[in-house]
């Protein structure tokens, strides 16, 4: 008789074979970090706080190296977990620095570091200074001891940027979308006395067909609560959305959309969405991950670009793209 662990090994193996046959088994292609020049942060770093021309550090975030073994696996569509880099880096016997790996130089066109801030010396200096003064990590969750005055200052600054009353930081933009959609769904449950709401008490969520996976996952999680009814409208099709809204008899309506769709590079029809919001009275939620700090006169995002910030009720954003860092946020009113 097979042991439980052996059974699980077989089941997982069969599942992986299925994923491989469907060509949906993802591989890791580790980029090798190389520092071409040691960075010296001096007193003249303040001179770089205003961008006026390309500098040598702007190239470091797009000119990268990849091991030839990894490149070969990539070109032949061979599954990879990146282990070959670990073996190479240790020389195969655990001795670090014994690598004779050859590398290929690549230029990245797929990154999200739109403003090049991840490699900017002023940012690096600020990060190093903060780490020296305050250490690393929050030392606990925000509810316990991990929420500091710096978090509050950042939230206030992001709220001002988005022209909203307040802001909540999240670990990632993905987490922000998941948290928001779950919170919206919980409203129906709470108003129904912590029970499953009736059809009239449920929340109608209208989602663009090409919304980001984090929005879709958040909606699916909310559906498990049986507190929402989901309508998917054709991508950026305002006539279809208007028809769905007009035929929906539910009072609580939410429309959620990416503001700038990363796969196709097109904007959501913000002006038309604002008009529909006035007509149907729904809550408008946008995921402005790719527009924040990039679009608009002040970097306020896509809503600022189309002059409809007042028509957006909730704005989701991320700090891992144009900001060149890590994290996510939800900006909205205080109520």
226 is known as an active-site residue: no
Alpha carbons 290 and 321: distance in angstroms, whole number: 7
Crossing angle (nearest 10°) for helices 213-224 and 173-191: 30
Q: How far is CA 174 from CA 134, 170, 180, 190, 330, in A?
A: 27, 9, 10, 24, 11
Instruction: Yes or no: say if 324 and 118 are a contact pair by the CB < 8 Å rule.
Output: yes
Task: Name the catalytic one among 60, 202, 290, 320.
Answer: 290
Say whether 67 sits in a helix, a strand or coil.
Answer: strand
Instruction: Yes or no: say if 278 and 296 are a contact pair by the CB < 8 Å rule.
Output: no
Exposed, middle or buried, 241 (CB in 10 Å: 0-12/13-18/19+)?
Answer: buried
CA-based nearest residue to 120, from 326, 329, 325? 325
State CA 14 to chain mean position distance.
32
262 is known as an active-site residue: yes
Instruction: Yes or no: say if 321 and 290 are a contact pair by the CB < 8 Å rule.
Output: yes
**DSSP H helical ranges for 48-110:** 68-75, 83-89
156 is known as an active-site residue: no
Task: Name the catalytic one among 125, 235, 262, 280.
Answer: 262
Instruction: Yes or no: say if 97 and 155 are a contact pair by the CB < 8 Å rule.
Output: no
**Which residues are the active-site residues?**
262, 290, 321
């Amino acid at each position: 008789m097979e042991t439980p662990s052996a059974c699980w090994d077989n089941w997982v193996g069969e599942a992986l074979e299925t994923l491989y046959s469907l060509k949906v088994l993802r591989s890791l292609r580790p980029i090798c970090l190389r520092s071409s020049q040691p960075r010296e942060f001096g007193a003249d770093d303040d001179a770089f706080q205003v961008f006026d021309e390309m500098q040598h550090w702007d190239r470091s975030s797009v000119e990268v190296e990849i091991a030839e073994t990894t490149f070969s696996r990539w070109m032949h569509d061979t599954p990879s977990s990146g282990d070959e880099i670990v073996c190479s880096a240790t020389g195969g016997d655990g001795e670090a620095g014994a690598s004779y790996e050859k590398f290929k130089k690549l230029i990245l066109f797929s990154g999200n570091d739109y403003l090049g801030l991840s490699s900017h010396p002023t940012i690096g200096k600020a990060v190093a200074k903060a780490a020296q003064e305050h250490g690393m990590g929050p030392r606990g969750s925000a509810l316990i001891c991990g929420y500091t005055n710096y978090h509050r200052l950042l939230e206030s600054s992001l709220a001002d940027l988005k022209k909203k009353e307040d802001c909540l930081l999240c670990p990632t933009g993905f987490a922000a979308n998941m948290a928001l959609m779950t919170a919206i769904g919980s409203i129906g449950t709470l108003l129904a006395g912590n029970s499953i709401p009736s059809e009239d008490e449920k929340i109608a969520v209208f989602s663009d067909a090409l919304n980001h996976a984090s929005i879709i996952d958040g909606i699916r999680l909310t559906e498990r609560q049986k507190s929402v009814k989901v309508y998917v409208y054709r991508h950026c099709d305002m006539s279809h959305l208007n028809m769905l809204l007009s035929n929906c008899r539910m009072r609580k309506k939410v429309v959620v959309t990416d503001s700038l769709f990363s796969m196709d590079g097109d904007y959501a029809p913000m002006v038309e969405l604002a008009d529909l919001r006035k007509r149907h009275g729904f809550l408008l939620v946008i995921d402005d991950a790719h527009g924040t700090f990039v679009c608009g006169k002040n970097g306020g995002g896509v809503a600022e670009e189309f002059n409809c910030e007042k028509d957006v009720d909730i704005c989701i954003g991320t700090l891992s793209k144009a900001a060149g860092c890590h994290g996510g946020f939800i900006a909205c009113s205080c109520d």
